[in-house]
Structure 1
Amino acid sequence: MFNQVPNISYSNIHGVLESIQPLDKVAISTKVGTLIPIYRVEDHGRKKLTPVKVDPLGRVKSLQLQDVTQVNTTVGEIPTEFITFYPSGNIRRVFPLNGKLSGYWSEDNEYNLAKIISIKTMVGTISVKPIYVHFYETGELKSITFWPKERVLINTRYGEIKIKTGISFYKSGRVKSFEPDSQISIETPIGNLLAYDPDPIGINGEKNSLSFNEEGDVITISTISSEVIVVDNKGMENIFTPDVQPSRCDDEIFIIKPLKIEFHGDEVIFKYGFKTIGKSKNNSEFIIKEFTSNKVQNCNLSSCSKSS
């Protein structure tokens, strides 16, 4: 298999084989064809990753490829520089590029090298520069994670929406979640809310602030512009709003953190700060108003105005 003795790494547990560094060209047979792991680095913009990683049973977990290779997937061929596998040998993720960011090689350098890939989905053809494409073990498209500069228009039951960061899908192909690029009005089980998280946590297309069940109903949403007044059957009011806090850098600058709401059956869960409060839809009235604060004007997590 190897023309030269490869560098082999073992884990500390019982000397189990963990990785292989080929010293010459070698072909590895996979379910998606024969692939050539990297054995020489001529491009200093590439990451110095272990070319071949295996699990304790010797099954290939990931391959860093010598050259960008067209890999056949359930959504078509994708140019691939790095690929990961499930224990079954089926594709987990494909990365069209896998560059090394440094003082000499920036995110812009890597982004400029990225190619647009078109993927047909139930919300239309998504043409985007992806960081990676993720699949379920059974082959269905699980998510697409975008480069930060990328924006995509999709067609939904709520209208045409521009999204960022990424999008995830159920096995059925229906949309599971996405990240709106700007504020949009979304119908929820308690009324219309303005959905938007200016600085969502997470860097992949699977953890988005706006998510849905398979029928397309909202199950999680983040808002910086809506407040919810909950009136219980005794007439008692609870008001839930986004959280306005002074900046850690300047007490005269305020930042706004989204109010996060989840819907589980008849229960509505409000999450803000470290508090989580549940309310029943059956025993409460929900009044939605525009959220305003004299402390902030056009303030979000990444850019804030001084208090008035």
Structure 2
Amino acid sequence: MSEFKSKYGVIKGITRASYYPDGQLRECRLVEENRISTEAGILIPKYDFYETRTKSRNAMEFYASGELKSAYLEKRQQIETPFGKIMAEMVTFYEGGSIRRVFPTYGQISGYWSEKEEGDLLEGIGIQTDRLQINAKLSCISQYPSGKLKSLTLWPGETVTVDTSYGPVTARIGISLYENGVIKSLEPSRGTPISTLAGEFITFDLNAMGIHGDRNSLCFYENAAIKSLTTMHSGIRIAGDGKMETITPVLVPSMADIEIMVISPIKINFGEKGLAVTDSLGGKHLFSEKEYEFTSFPVSFGQSSPPVFAD
């Protein structure tokens, strides 16, 4: 065991540490209680690593400047955020000291500890901004250096309703915002009709990855206009120069089982000069708004409607 004199006082009980070339502490584990004063309040980094759900990671990490980068907490504790007091188990920071991400729980999901057991530790968290009001179980809250809300990652199975310029949309997985509070993106929990200049599209991505809420399949510009969407149940018809072209989702072999066919969606980006369409196989197609006309149409694969995630 050793100790280190940091900007946060003397850190005691250090084990398995690494250092920057100049001797500044980069990361460490601990076997003694330490109390660290931060913008999130007084934090107690983890020093007992023998719990079933404890992740194998450092208790503390630092920037080369000596500023705290992250703290994995001994137990869930109440911290101060711009959105009120929140119970957290892991906190990361920008180099300037402001909170970057808050994780209400940070347990290791395994054969010894289930996702349900981890979720049972959570309570609903109320988040309110000028344009967003929710109360749900969250796995991560991200903010800008200014303290403004950047994104929310919902706990698996959680859904919330978000008001957009295209009407209310029920979201799963995550929601991201611009720094001015305008909704930047969200992940629809069901097939949701969105009216655009190219027609109405049923936006939904069954294969959306639920890693974090920063990037989602339904995206908006900062003026709240539609930027891009992903659809499994709509196609687009492009007409111009005496030609007609259609791009639709297609069935492809599942990556998990090649004998099972799954729908591979298409993505449509709405730019100032036209549309950029990414087809189901990843091909890129650019169409000028001045040269082409666009029409949407429904696509069916033997089911009456897209899958719906329970609210």
1:168 positional shift = 0.5
Structure 1 match to 2:3? none
SS at match of 1:109: helix
Structure 2 match to 1:244? 251
Residues 229/204 of structure 1: CA separation in 2 closer, same or farther (3 Å cut): same
List aligned pairs for 1:286-305, cutoff 5 A. 286-292=294-300, 296-298=301-303
How big is each residue's C-alpha offset from its partner over 1:196-253, in whole Å with a ceiling of 9 and x where there is no partner? 1111135211110000012211111011111111011x221111111222446354x4
The question of whether the paired residues in 2 share the 8 Å contact of 1:262 and 1:270 is answered with: yes
**Is 1:44 aligned with 2:68?**
no
**Is 1:260 aligned with 2:267?**
yes
Alignment counterpart, residue 197 of structure 1, candidates 197, 205, 222: 205
CA distance in 2, matches of 1:203, 1:288: 31
How big is each residue's C-alpha offset from its partner over 1:261-284, in whole Å with a ceiling of 9 and x where there is no partner? 111211200102120010011211
How big is each residue's C-alpha offset from its partner over 1:37-69, in whole Å with a ceiling of 9 and x where there is no partner? 112246322223211111222211000112222
Alignment counterpart, residue 187 of structure 2, candidates 179, 194, 205: 179
Unaligned runs of 5+ in 2: 1-8
Structure 1 match to 2:117? 109
**Matched letter for residue 298 of structure 1:** Q
SS at match of 2:47: coil
CA distance in 2, matches of 1:188, 1:250: 35
Residues 35/110 of structure 1: CA separation in 2 closer, same or farther (3 Å cut): same
Alignment counterpart, residue 226 of structure 1, candidates 222, 229, 234: 234
Residues 237/27 of structure 1: CA separation in 2 closer, same or farther (3 Å cut): same
Alignment counterpart, residue 61 of structure 2, candidates 37, 53, 56: 53
Residues 55/75 of structure 1: CA separation in 2 closer, same or farther (3 Å cut): same
1:124 positional shift = 4.0
Task: Give the alignment's Cα RMSD to 1 decimal.
Answer: 2.3
* Residues 107-116 or 29-38, more deviating: 29-38
Q: Identical aligned pairs, as a percentage?
A: 32
Alignment counterpart, residue 94 of structure 1, candidates 102, 114, 124: 102
Structure 2 match to 1:84? 92
CA distance in 2, matches of 1:301, 1:85: 40
Unaligned runs of 5+ in 1: 303-308
CA distance in 2, matches of 1:299, 1:13: 62
How many pairs align?
Answer: 297
The question of whether the paired residues in 2 share the 8 Å contact of 1:154 and 1:160 is answered with: yes
TM-score, structure 2 normalization:
0.88
TM-score, structure 1 normalization:
0.89
CA distance in 2, matches of 1:75, 1:209: 26
SS at match of 1:82: strand
SS at match of 1:6: strand
**Is 1:31 aligned with 2:39?**
yes
1:257 positional shift = 0.8
* Residues 7-16 or 138-147, more deviating: 7-16
**Matched letter for residue 144 of structure 2:** Y
Structure 1 match to 2:220? 212
* Residues 150-159 or 260-269, more deviating: 150-159
CA distance in 2, matches of 1:189, 1:22: 58
**Is 1:160 aligned with 2:168?**
yes
**Matched letter for residue 32 of structure 1:** A
The question of whether the paired residues in 2 share the 8 Å contact of 1:189 and 1:263 is answered with: no
Residues 195/25 of structure 1: CA separation in 2 closer, same or farther (3 Å cut): same
Alignment counterpart, residue 143 of structure 2, candidates 128, 135, 151: 135
The question of whether the paired residues in 2 share the 8 Å contact of 1:161 and 1:180 is answered with: yes
The question of whether the paired residues in 2 share the 8 Å contact of 1:254 and 1:299 is answered with: no
The question of whether the paired residues in 2 share the 8 Å contact of 1:32 and 1:72 is answered with: yes
The question of whether the paired residues in 1 share the 8 Å contact of 2:39 and 2:80 is answered with: no
CA distance in 2, matches of 1:166, 1:80: 18
The question of whether the paired residues in 2 share the 8 Å contact of 1:130 and 1:145 is answered with: yes
